[in-house]
Chain A
Amino acid sequence: MSFLQVNGISHVYLTKTKAKEAIADLSFSIEEGEFVSLLGPSGCGKSTLLSIISGLLQPTEGNVIIQGKTKHKPGESMGYMLQQDYLFPWKTIEDNCLIGLKLTNRLTKESIDGTLNLLDQMGLYDVRHAYPDQLSGGMRQRVALVRTLATGPDLLLLDEPFSALDYQTKLKLENLVSATLKTHNKSALLVTHDIGEAIAMSDRVILLSPRPGKIARTFQMPSHLRELIPFDARNDPEFAEHFQVIWKELDSLEQSPT
């Protein structure tokens, strides 16, 4: 049994003017410890799909099974990282990181120490009493990562978490996230429109076609590329080959009138 199974998900958005199908009959699965990317042009319902998997949104059709359970509440076994850090500016770094534990009534001496330890690993221990606006963009997104990891999720949902960062910071954070997930053997689902990022970080890349979103193709990354850290993967000759293939596929998807 897979860690996460997405079965025949369809979602329709209703507005006053029309009913718009965002996702149509989408199915895939993620194994434990696997890193999967959803790649696609805008309008393919990537973020909608993440909201459905996280339990924030009820799909019109289909279901999501996580570790054998169909019914799941947000926050139980999943961590969600957004496009920007969305740290609460009125809370200190430490309090921002502890919010998940607080909301799930799991604030104990051990869990607080665990979170402080995570902050330390990310080189943020010294700024734990600072407020978010005193930190740089990269530091803030690292805090957001600690906040997401603090509740000990088994699956990480990453909604373009690096898109708002400058290139250098982005490369560093890719390495950091990749290494952190590998050490803790966590599964992850990354939504992105950055082909390079998808190839460098993932075990598998799922290409979505737009309006309504459905799976166009799945690319399995070769094992030696998967073992490299994202930065080295980007410099591998095979990276360029995969980039070309996915680029062409994505290009044809965007041009084909659907």
Chain B
Amino acid sequence: MAVVVMMIVSIICFVLSNVAYDPAVGIAGAQATDEDVALIRQTYGFDRPLPSRFIDYLGNLAQGDLGVSYLSKRPVLDMILERLPVTAMLAFFSMTLALAIALPIGCAAALWPNTIIDRLSQFLAVAGQAIPNFWAGLLLIVLFGVQLRWLPISGSDTYAHFVLPAITLGTYAMPPLMRLIRAGMIDVLGSDYIRTARAMGIQPLKLTFKYALKNAVLPVISLSAVQLGFMLGGSIVVESIFALNGIGYLAWQSMSRSDMPVIQAIVLMISMIYIVLTLLADLLNAYMDPRLRSARK
């Protein structure tokens, strides 16, 4: 199915870059005359029927050729690879932060349901989901960058530069993780084998962290993988506010200049990452606990 999904995504990308927007106009650039455009249409073969162009397009994709940017005339793949590290760092830090908050609080909420901690976790989850992340970003800049001057505001020179953007993006990724951890833990703690283990006199803390958490964490891995994919998309706003020169900013820039080859390549890449990550998470889940997997169904 992954292959089919990739196929559909590439069709959509092809439509985006070849049908919805005339590639000849894009390549010719702003100054071109009608004759220039016609000439380009002919040289690049844009006058051929769509199906045959689509096959070429797929062929190029298979060879790792994502096309050439209209604007910079550079291979799109190079542009993306150049900027991937910054976005990867951002996604990694945001995810770490989200998990660092979600894991302990989610577990605590499950261990002591209907207490203050549980309420706090629910409030955090709801509030985190409701904060517009670009707004949070602006507020963080005003507070920590300008008023208190604790943290650098923009750029990606040091790890400190990633703190504010990671908080902004992490807040957005944290709530579903926390909910899932809490729900998963409640499920597992109520299950038979934990009750048995408890009856056998295994220390409650050890029980929680060694046995229960291990199993509750399985769906979290799937979700983390999904969230990581989403984060690449969600980084558009964050990257443009914090001047991080990553994929999100590249996408935004290309958008405002109708640089379709870049946009479709980014969409394709994010989809691919998503599909690969969910596949990996599935495999990882199966590998870690086939019994639980079948039990969940």
Co-assembled chains A and B: no
Which residues of chain B have a CB within 8 Å of any CB of chain A? none
